[in-house]
Chain A
């Protein structure tokens, strides 16, 4: 079974999804593939877990969805709205604050042991 990151930080899947959907509209399966490609497969989520996040973001007005027939199948395509782009900005700021703090801590401990 593929290894996933179950204790993944809260808000990160939202950040990745919003980031990718600001570039172009995608359906769920396509989005999961895009996450793996964009992160060099460093981040693997249980693929089914993406849908509740998409639906919740849509309910919050961060995403819009539309049905589109493709090769005889109807797929639900998602794209980021203006509110979604705004939320992405907030999430990126928050993420950078955390990574900076962790980087400083790690750098500090490395220097401390040197």
Chain B
């Protein structure tokens, strides 16, 4: 078992690698293997009857500086987000939100029309099935109002986990939190034979709705930061 002093040194090394931009999974793996290596070395030193087996095992690993430098020098172990924080945390949330929404909704919207035209849900021209309305409306609500909050929370937490400055993540999250509050959609199902369903997505607000939309944006940001604070608390507990 590692001594308390060596456990602290492992934690310090972990922090240094994360701050240096190494991808968290590589940091985790390096530390796991180093701890295993230390345990093996400690067993060997104890078997050899070393006076201070723990210290001897630790010295075999090399200095904290040597290990840190050898990891930091490997460009392939650096996280993309540490190399391009503006793109990943600034523009990433918006791109991710649009991509997930478009890719998830398109098959449903186009698929329903195609299925109707192909006569799979009744004779061609049959109105949209009633059972489809509630799940599709719920999906829209999820993608436009809830997904941005989830993406924001993930981004802010990911930036904090990599010990990166939170500025870009907060900006990126703020943009989608506001856009989500201003997102509008109109959904018209085909209710009579020959009619076609229609889905329109956009952003906009009337002067009357402005306070409500801004309030929603603030609530979205507050939810994101509540999630972040919760994550920070669980981190403190595990240290």
Interface residues of A (CB under 8 A from B): 1-2, 4, 6, 27-29, 32, 45-49, 51-53, 55-56, 59-60, 73, 75-76
Contact = CB atoms under 8 A, between A and B. Distances in A.
A76 B70 CA distance: 20
A52 B63 contact: no
B34 interface: yes
B33 A56 contact: no
Contacts of A73: 36
B61 A46 contact: yes
Interface residues of B, number: 22
Contacts, number: 67
B61 A55 contact: no
25 contacts: A6-B66, A28-B36, A29-B36, A29-B41, A46-B61, A46-B62, A46-B63, A46-B67, A47-B60, A48-B34, A48-B37, A48-B61, A48-B62, A48-B67, A51-B30, A51-B71, A52-B70, A52-B71, A53-B74, A55-B30, A56-B76, A56-B77, A60-B76, A73-B36, A75-B36
Interface in B36-66: 36-37, 40-41, 59-63, 66
Interface string B64-107: 00110011011011000000000000000000000000000000
Contacts of A60: 76
Contacts of A56: 74, 76-77
Given A49-B67, A52-B70, A55-B30, A29 B62 contact: no
B74 A52 contact: yes
A32 B26 CA distance: 20
Given A4-B66, A48-B66, A56-B76, 12 more contacts: A28-B36, A29-B37, A32-B37, A46-B61, A46-B70, A47-B41, A47-B61, A48-B61, A49-B70, A56-B77, A59-B76, A76-B29
